[in-house]
A and B are shown apart, each in its own frame.
Chain A
Amino acid sequence: MSIRFESLSKSFGPKTVLKNVSFEVSTGEILFILGKSGMGKSVTLKHIVGVMKPDEGRVFVDGDDVTQLDDNGLADVRRKCGMVFQHPALLDSLNVYQNVSFGLRTPQYTRSLPRPLTEEEIRTKVTETLRLVNLGTDIFDRYPPEISYGMQKRVSLARTLAPGPTYLLFDEPTTGLDPITTNAVNDLIFELSRKLKVTSVVVSHDMQCALKIADRVLVLDQAGILALQTVPEIKRSREPLIRDFLAETLALLPPEERAELEAHS
């Protein structure tokens, strides 16, 4: 029971973004998807929640073929799969509290409960999830344009976490964040997956963070999968593209790890 891609292909006009892509995410793991920009990483994630439809192939979430589901089935998949978009994607017309509680009020979420949440319960949940991303109740009434980009990204993360998804799909969760927040978000992804047994798919171009928290790394290149390997295997890889990604992180690593990586190149 997990996420599985089966020979998925997707083109936009003449441009083939994914061709015959198959892979499976195991339950509880953290899978990093790495690749240069424009290689179809975001497109891959969007297929899991069905906001994009493939030209060919199928995507399974817990055995359900996302490409064939009706609205109800799709709602179930989307409740299970929390997506954190590359942009903060908060609604400007709603304040932080309303944004974070947005997903707690929709039928997609409430129909899995015996009764809809009371305002009290929603408030508690919003407060708790904001605390997870190191934000307090003092920003409840602020509107997205009034808070910093880093805060917006964390509020966006909280909005996704609030309904308690079992799969988390992150699209460049740390791009544009300062190093301290980046670390905090990485730690959070790690904790969620270890403590709450959440399965995570993280799109990133941050190899350093992949090496630190990923179980496996999938490298997308030229519309296909260049590699799908565990972190130790990635470190030993001889693929030029992967070596390039690794080289970028070298300077940032502690000396003993750097020596280990350099030994393979």
Chain B
Amino acid sequence: MSSVKSSPSLQGASGLAGALLGPITHTLHEVGGLVLFLKLILKTALTTRGNTPAILEQVLSICSRSLATVVFAGTFVGAIIVLQFNAVLLVYDAQIFLGGLNTSAIVREIGPLMITFILAGKIGAFTAAELGTMRVTEQIDAVECLGTNPVQYLVLPRFIGIVISSLILLALGIMISMLGSTFVATFLCGMNPLQYMSTITRFVGVWTLFCGAAKSLVYGLIVGGVACQKGYTARGGARGVGTAVTQAALYMSLFVILANYITSNSLNWIHDFLGAALGWVDG
């Protein structure tokens, strides 16, 4: 405590600064922890033998567990966005663009986010709890003592499984929500399905698909990384596992939203750069 007597308003201000800075430094600390853990995963991936069967098993298990939810959510998300866009486009007499706008929004933004939040809620939380339990019941120590690298054996397959699955589920989710959107556009917005689909290719090209895939990849890395890190570093019994899962849930969502902002900006910048430098234009 400083010996200088500060006025109440100053104290209030420093309290406010503390209240604002606390979460920021805390978040930066968490980002640092995640980056270090991703570095460990990368190092392990590069220096040890891959375990393809274990990865495939994870991908299969993750996809089959999330399939129903992705289909369900995908259908309705597509449907909702169509209705919202339709209302606005009708005002400007531009309903013809509904298919293009809607698909572009789904591929660039809503699809990746939707898949990620499903993965985070279902698989991320599960993975954090599973690895956390392994940590607090000393399974991870046991594996290490018996001569197996626990990051290679337990973490890598789960991490890679989540990343690959998020790409697969994205592709699936997008197709499902396109179907859902077409259905709603046809039956609720009174459009001819062919008319609806006619503008899709004007808005959605290779670049848009690339953006969707790039975002899903980044989000998948975040979900897999945070879930594995929180689980792997859990400690302190059942309570510790609970904390690990809660923290995983919080930071997965937080980091994905931050990453969304950063990737959107970077992708736009790259697109402009490519356009200016190479004259490349693509939706």
Interface residues of A (CB under 8 A from B): 46, 49, 51, 75, 78-79, 81-83, 85-91, 102-103, 106-109, 156, 159, 163
Contacts and interface: CB of A to CB of B under 8 A. Distances in A.
Interface stretch (B32-40, B135-143, B254-262): B135-143
Contact of A90 (B139, B145, B147): B139
The 4 closest A-B pairs by CB, nearest first: A108-B147, A106-B147, A103-B146, A89-B142
Contacts of B143: 91, 102
B139 A108 contact: no
Q: Is chain B's interface secondary structure helix, strand, loop, or mixed overall? A: helix
Contact of B147 (A79, A85, A87, A91): A79
B144 interface: yes
B146 A159 contact: yes
Contacts of B145: 49, 51, 78, 81-83
18 contacts: A46-B141, A49-B145, A51-B144, A78-B145, A81-B145, A85-B141, A87-B138, A89-B141, A91-B139, A102-B146, A102-B148, A106-B146, A106-B147, A106-B148, A107-B147, A108-B147, A109-B147, A159-B142
A81 B144 CA distance: 12
A83 B147 contact: no
For A75, A83, A89, A163, which residue has the most chain B Cβ atoms within 10 angstroms? A89
Contacts of A156: 142
A78 B146 CA distance: 7
A148 to B, nearest CB: 16
A89 B147 contact: no
Contacts of B148: 102, 106, 108
Contacts of A107: 147
A72 B10 CA distance: 58
Contacts of B147: 75, 78-79, 103, 106-109
B141 A108 contact: no
Contacts, number: 50
Interface in B108-140: 137-139
A89 B146 contact: no
Interface string B130-169: 0000000111011111111000000000000000000000
A108 B146 contact: yes
Nearest to A90: B139
B146 A86 contact: no
Contacts of B144: 51, 78
For B141, B143, B144, B147, which residue has the most chain A Cβ atoms within 10 angstroms? B147
B52 to A, nearest CB: 17
Nearest to B235: A12
Nearest to A111: B147
Nearest to A165: B145
B281 to A, nearest CB: 51
Contacts of A103: 146-147
A86 B139 contact: no
Contacts of A108: 146-148
A85 B145 CA distance: 10
Interface string B205-234: 000000000000000000000000000000
A89 B143 CA distance: 9
A156 B139 CA distance: 10
Contacts of B141: 46, 51, 83, 85, 89
B154 to A, nearest CB: 9
A77 to B, nearest CB: 10
B116 to A, nearest CB: 26
A163 B138 CA distance: 19
B25 to A, nearest CB: 17
A112 B138 CA distance: 26
Contacts of A86: 138
B190 to A, nearest CB: 53
Contacts of A88: 137
B146 A85 contact: no
Given A51-B144, A106-B146, 20 more contacts: A46-B141, A75-B147, A78-B145, A83-B145, A85-B138, A85-B141, A86-B138, A87-B139, A89-B137, A89-B138, A91-B139, A91-B143, A102-B143, A102-B148, A106-B147, A107-B147, A108-B148, A156-B142, A159-B142, A163-B146
A102 to B, nearest CB: 5
A88 B148 CA distance: 17
Contacts of A83: 141-142, 145
A87 B137 contact: yes
Nearest to A108: B147
Contacts of B137: 87-89
A95 B138 CA distance: 17
A78 B149 CA distance: 13
